[in-house]
Amino acid sequence: MTEEKQESKSKIATTSNFRKTLLVILAVFLTFAGPTYVVYALLNALEIDYIISMVFGFALFVVGALLIWYLIKNKIVS
């Protein structure tokens, strides 16, 4: 019975660490790659107006910054 509890705790810890890692990677992508590569792709590949792509890039930056703030606030990232 104790082995089952230890296995379930390790699975929860792994899932939790996996989710934390994904959140950190997503936050970094939104903060740094969002305003650069996504704007570039919107301008060149989809031929969207410059202002719309810049606003979208800024919105991605803000979402990434808020996600980083959330991760730091909850002590997921030190």
Give the chain's mean pLDDT: 80
pLDDT at 12: 47
> In the predicted model, is pLDDT for residue 2 greater than 80?
no
pTM: 0.70
pLDDT on residue 15: 58
Using the predicted structure, report yes or no on whether residue 7 has a pLDDT greater than 70: no
Write the DSSP assignment of 14-76 as a string of letters. Answer: HHHHHHHHHHHHHHHIIIIIIIIIIHHHHHHTS---HHHHHHHHHHHHHHHHHHHHHHHHTTS
At 6, is the pLDDT very low, low, confident or very high (cuts 50, 70, 90)?
A: low
